[in-house]
């Protein structure tokens, strides 16, 4: 195979109408895995040139499912990961024809894959835990971050950045309210909640921060419809149920205790934030009972005093708000 095969053909699309990006990309995505990996350097260089090229070419390339198939196939290859991530970042930062309604799901899936790969950072974190328990002095200079962890954190930042574009995506799609939620909010929350379980604390912490900011976004809740109430049934409750699983705890026994408290805090904070809107919802009482039940399960899972203080604080805030109303 000679040179950047995709550049020599895809770039010619600007001059010759009979060339179609999806045909070229489909041919490349059909390569055997071993061949695809051997050709990764020039292929990704060419794909990157297309993404940086004219908006029409960028749109044609980034809307092709085969384009994303290639990126997924190569994102975990050590010699190709940096190039794949650069393409990912270029798309995330592109103001025009970067991330669109057509490639939204694929973009989120690749972001999740990069964040998941950052779980390798848990090894270094837990090594430091063992050293501290043995009484060894912590190093003054922080160890250099693993590339996978940095890419994972940047991928989550790119996901959160898209929350401001969700209202535009919804408006342009003309979807019915439930379909719009499923198409544009659900993928964001799937990625963030998945990474709230990441064994690497750095990624987990960033995921929780992004999740909280997303859940409290002024663009999320609307009094005109109640689709946003899915944040409890489809986001927060499943997240906490997964956090209560022993196998998740074992991924990071030292850090998961704090994560469980963080999840309970987030649940109570979101509930209080939307209390006024929820008061007009028929499911309000059932929701409150479920929150009490989940807090009880968390307090009996070993979090004890930490969770009791969180629970008591938000109960007091709730009583105060109900009194004021």
For residue 72, the surrounding DSSP H or E stretch is helix 65-74
Q: What is the mean pLDDT of residues 167-176?
A: 90
For the chain, strand residue ranges (E) read none
Best-predicted range by mean pLDDT (52-66, 155-169, 244-258): 155-169
Q: What is the DSSP string of 137-186?
A: PPPSSPPPPPHHHHHHHHHHHHHHHGGGGHHHHHHHHT--HHHHIIIIIH
How far is residue 253's CA from residue 244's CA, in Å, rounded to a whole number?
Answer: 12
Average per-residue pLDDT for the chain? 83
Confidence category of residue 13, pLDDT binned at 50, 70, 90: very low
Residue 145 has pLDDT above 60, yes or no: no
In the chain, pLDDT over 70 holds for what percent of residues? 82
User: Which residues 6+ apart lie within 8 Å of 271 measured at CB?
Assistant: 232, 278, 287, 288, 291, 314, 318
Residue 208 has pLDDT above 70, yes or no: yes
Helix (H, G, I), strand (E, B) or coil at 136: coil
Best-predicted range by mean pLDDT (18-32, 37-51, 133-147, 218-232): 37-51
pLDDT of amino acid 125 = 82
Confidence category of residue 73, pLDDT binned at 50, 70, 90: very high
Q: What is the mean pLDDT of residues 250-263?
A: 88
pLDDT of amino acid 60 = 86
> Per the structure block, which two tokens stand in for 163?
């929350």
Helix (H, G, I), strand (E, B) or coil at 232: helix
How far is residue 310's CA from residue 217's CA, in Å, rounded to a whole number?
Answer: 22
pLDDT of amino acid 312 = 61
How far is residue 174's CA from residue 183's CA, in Å, rounded to a whole number?
Answer: 11
Q: What is the mean pLDDT of residues 250-268?
A: 88
pLDDT of amino acid 16 = 43
pLDDT one-digit tens code per residue, 293-320: 887 787 777 655 565 666 566 665 655 5
pLDDT one-digit tens code per residue, 93-103: 887 768 999 99
Q: What is the mean pLDDT of residues 34-49?
A: 92
pLDDT one-digit tens code per residue, 77-123: 999 999 999 999 999 988 776 899 999 999 999 999 999 999 988 87
pLDDT of amino acid 18 = 37
Residue 283 has pLDDT above 70, yes or no: yes
User: Which residues 6+ apart lie within 8 Å of 53 measured at CB?
Assistant: 11, 14
pLDDT of amino acid 223 = 75
Domain range annotation of the chain: 1-79+86-98
Q: What is the mean pLDDT of residues 199-225?
A: 91
pLDDT of amino acid 190 = 97
Residue 5 has pLDDT above 60, yes or no: no
């Amino acid at each position: 195979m000679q040179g950047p095969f995709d550049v020599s053909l895809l770039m010619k699309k600007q001059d010759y109408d009979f060339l179609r990006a999806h045909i070229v990309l489909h041919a490349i995505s059909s390569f055997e895995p071993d061949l695809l990996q051997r050709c990764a350097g020039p292929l990704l260089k060419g794909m990157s040139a297309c993404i940086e090229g004219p908006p029409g070419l960028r749109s044609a390339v980034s809307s092709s499912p085969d384009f994303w198939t290639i990126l997924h196939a190569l994102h975990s290859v050590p010699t190709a990961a940096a190039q794949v991530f650069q393409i990912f970042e270029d798309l995330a930062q592109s103001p025009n024809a970067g991330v669109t309604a057509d490639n939204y799901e694929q973009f989120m899936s690749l972001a999740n894959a990069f964040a998941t790969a950052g779980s390798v950072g848990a090894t270094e974190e837990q090594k430091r835990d063992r050293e501290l328990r043995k009484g060894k002095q912590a190093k003054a200079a922080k160890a250099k971050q693993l590339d996978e962890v940095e890419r994972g954190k940047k991928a989550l930042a790119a996901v959160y950045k898209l929350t401001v574009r969700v209202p535009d995506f919804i408006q342009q799609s003309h979807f019915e309210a439930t379909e719009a939620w499923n198409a544009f909010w659900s993928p964001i929350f799937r990625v963030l909640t998945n990474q709230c379980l990441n064994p690497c604390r750095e990624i987990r912490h960033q995921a929780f921060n992004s999740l909280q900011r997303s859940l409290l976004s002024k663009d999320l809740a609307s009094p005109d419809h109640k689709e946003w109430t899915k944040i409890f049934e489809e986001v927060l409750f499943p997240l906490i149920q997964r956090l209560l699983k022993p196998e998740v705890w074992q991924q990071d026994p030292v850090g998961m205790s704090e994560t469980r408290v963080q999840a309970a805090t987030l649940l109570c904070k979101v509930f209080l934030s939307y209390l006024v809107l929820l008061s007009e919802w028929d499911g309000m009482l059932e929701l409150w009972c479920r929150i009490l039940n989940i807090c009880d399960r968390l307090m009996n899972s070993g979090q004890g005093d930490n969770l009791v203080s969180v629970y008591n604080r938000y109960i007091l805030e709730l009583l105060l708000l109900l009194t004021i109303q």
